[in-house]
Amino acid sequence: MGSPTASSHTESQKATPTSLGETIQTLLESAISDQTLAGAVVMASRQGAPLLHYAAGTKIPSSQEAPKAAQGSMSVDTVFDLGQMTQAICTATVLMRLVSAEKIHATDRASRFLQALGVGQKSSITLAHLLSHTAGFPAGASVYEDLVRANAGPRPGILASSGAKQYAYTHFHNLPLKYEPGTRELVSDANYIVLGEICEIITGLPLEKAYARYVAAPLRVGSLNFIDLTLLRRKGLEPVVELFAPTGFCSRRERLLAGEVWDENAWVMGGVSGHCGLFGTARDVHTWATEILRGYRGESSLLSRDAVAEFLSSESATPQTGSRLGFATAARENGFVESKGDSRAFVTLGGTGCSAFVDPETETIVVFLTNAGFSGHTSRRFLGLRTDIHAAIMGLS
């Protein structure tokens, strides 16, 4: 494990660059030793100046058997399955661009774009409700089992096909609501799967192409993209396993997943969905987070200040729940610290063990990518590690 590099930062920091790097190295070495994770990549900056870009550990836990191509050390260029970070990086950012261009408003009814949501209680669902997980759709909503059964029976070959995607869209349109829209936050894949479809309807493009046009291409984030399983299957191609941090061994698919989306709903839909499916490096996630921060300051050519402020506000569109649009609030219970009590810090989290943290007050960005799914990304030890890393970088340790 090489020594981390840490660049100079503001004098208000308690840690010097050298001690910051040493602190992060010690934290990660300890976590690797006690098997909290196998490896990780951390990248951080303040006021546009780099603080740290560091890779530690290996792609596979020492106890895990894996093909040789999936083994090796983590590097700063390792590509990770970002899981639910897709919701902020792809879906929310595409919609922010459309709001910035005044083509839509966050308060628009979803039924304006999707007639299937124009019935009963669903007719009051807005884009903001979907973005903030307050539309009322049930948690744990899944189409995986239905499509696996169809694949084994009347519709062989439907998995990871355009037919599967349309089946999934119809399935989620028809889900009964658990709560009245706007009254309670309940995280559900359905919200962002439906938003992904709405992005397609508004832009006239498949989601992966809408994302490429509105986000990936202008930001020049080549690694930060979907892996279209339908396209790979059609062309007989395979991901280059050596580039990826394997996400874990999937007992249902009976294989180690590297360059193949972990989330089951996204997998049966072909690897492209509004809720999961993006892969990327820490560097490219950091580039995206920097653009969000630039938009917050009114310095982005892609995102208007008003649009970013609306998405990051906990009051604008869903005052009853205090939920943000596409982002979460940094809190200790999800493994983060706030900067001197400033509640404006926001995060995006992936169920695979990845995260990005942005504090507008200090203009600090921290990207922490892991494949801690091998060891339990929701374990108390992992959340404690994430808290300690952010505390060290924020100078709050």
Interval 246-278: pLDDT, tens: 998 888 888 889 999 999 999 999 999 999 999
- Where does the pLDDT of residue 13 fall: very low under 50, low under 70, confident under 90, or very high at 90 and above? very low
- Would 294 be classed as within a structural domain? no
In a domain, 28, yes or no: yes
For residue 118, the model assigns a pLDDT of 94
364 within 8 A of 336, measured Cβ to Cβ:
no
Enclosing domain of residue 383: 5-78+327-394
Q: Could you tell me how far CA 262 lies from the centroid of its own chain?
A: 13
**337, two tokens:** 């610290």
Distance CA 359, CA 10 (A): 15
User: Does one domain contain both 54 and 93?
Assistant: no
What is the spatial distance between Cα 121 and Cα 136, in angstroms, rounded to a whole number?
9
- Same domain for 91 and 215, yes or no, is yes
What values do phi and psi take at 299, rounded to 5? -115, 5
Q: Which of 347, 365, 367, 370 is nearest to 92 (CA)?
A: 347
93 shares a domain with 69 = no
Phi, psi at 163, each rounded to 5°: -65, -40
Same domain, 158 and 49: no
Residues facing 5 on adjacent strands = 53
Residues 74 and 89 in one domain: no
Q: What average pLDDT score do residues 19-48 get?
A: 93
Residues 162 and 56 reside in one and the same domain: no
In this structure, what CATH number is given to the domain that contains residue 115?
3.40.710.10
Residue 9 has pLDDT above 80, yes or no: no
**Tally of domains in the chain:** 2
CA gap 90, 339 in Å, rounded: 26
- Quick one: 102 and 241 in the same domain? yes
> 200 and 53 in one domain?
no
- pLDDT exceeds 70 at position 233: yes
Same domain, 356 and 246: no
pLDDT digits (tens, 9 = 90+) for 285-338: 999 999 999 999 999 999 999 999 999 986 654 555 567 899 998 877 777 765
CB 168 within 8 A of CB 143: yes
